[in-house]
Structure 1
């Protein structure tokens, strides 16, 4: 995930991907490696999320990590990527979401350190989680929640096969969902044009 652009209007968005749409895992750059969960990641994870603008305070990020890590679902469903020096540079997970009135797994807390972005670490983690989700029985598509000011992440998710969810969900009408995506599309076009 790229840094949240606080200069862009925030509006919530959902994206979905059908089963078996993503057919292969994006290989992780050889300069990095997946590592098993370690309790010592708490501070590094909190700092990573704070640096990307996901949380307003280090304490909130740390508390969130602590709460998630105490859940039995956490260790098997969160990925951690370290560099050659063993420093945490990325993380993402499958985590229950409640946007549709029931617990459904979603892609959650995708984060890659700014210094280590543009090495496809985010794409690798998300594709790995998609493949994991597709290997479990179920009738619902995988989804994720994002926002208009995370346009870099939206572009990455789209590249992997996620599409805009335009329907209603908890706290958002279909009309509002469509309006949010109209704004997101405008932002993506503007940011894409200005990057050339």
Structure 2
């Protein structure tokens, strides 16, 4: 995920991807590697999320990762990417969401350090998680929540096969969802014209 652009209006968005739409995992750049979760990553993860504008405070980010890491499903559902020096530069996971009135897995907390963006780390992590989801039985498409001021992330998700969800969901009517995506499309056009 690119940094949240605080100069762009925030509106919530959902995106979905059908099963078997993403047919291959984007290879991770050889300068990076997937590593198993280590408790020492909590501080680096919190800092990464905070730096990208996902959390208002570093303490909230630390509390969130600490709570998630205490759940049994965390280690098997979150990815961590380090550079050649062992520094955490990216993370993403499959985590329960409740946007549809029931618990469903979604792509969550996708983040790549600003200094390491544009190396397809985000695409690699998300494609790997989509493939993992597709390998598990279920009838629902995978989804993710994003926002209009994360237009770089929206472009990446679209490239991988995610599409706009225009229906109603918890806290958002169908009309609001459509209006939010109209704004998002306008922002993406403007930003691509200026080569964001």
Q: What is the TM-score when the length of structure 2 is the normalising length? A: 0.99
1:106 aligns with 2:106: yes
2:179 match: secondary structure:
helix
Query: Which residue of the partner structure matches residue 67 of structure 1?
Result: 67
Query: Which residue of the partner structure matches residue 76 of structure 2?
Result: 76
d(CA) in 1 for partners of 2:168, 2:177: 7
Can you give the 5+ residue segments of structure 1 that lack an aligned partner in the other structure?
none
Query: Cα offset for 1:32?
Result: 0.1
1:46 aligns with 2:46: yes
Report 1:21-60 matches (<5 A).
21-60=21-60
Report 1:1-196 matches (<5 A).
1-195=1-195
d(CA) in 2 for partners of 1:174, 1:67: 32
Deviation digits for residues 116-155 of structure 1, max 9, x if unmatched?
0000000000000000000000000000000000000000
Deviation digits for residues 71-108 of structure 1, max 9, x if unmatched?
11100000000000000000000000000011000000
2:167 match: secondary structure:
coil
Query: Cα offset for 1:195?
Result: 1.3
Root-mean-square deviation (Å) = 0.6
2:128 match: secondary structure:
helix
d(CA) in 2 for partners of 1:181, 1:11: 9
d(CA) in 1 for partners of 2:171, 2:50: 25
Q: What is the TM-score when the length of structure 1 is the normalising length? A: 0.99
d(CA) in 1 for partners of 2:195, 2:160: 21
1:93 match: secondary structure:
strand
d(CA) in 1 for partners of 2:42, 2:163: 32
1:47 match: secondary structure:
helix
Q: Return structure 1 stretches of 4+ with deviation > 2 angstroms.
A: none
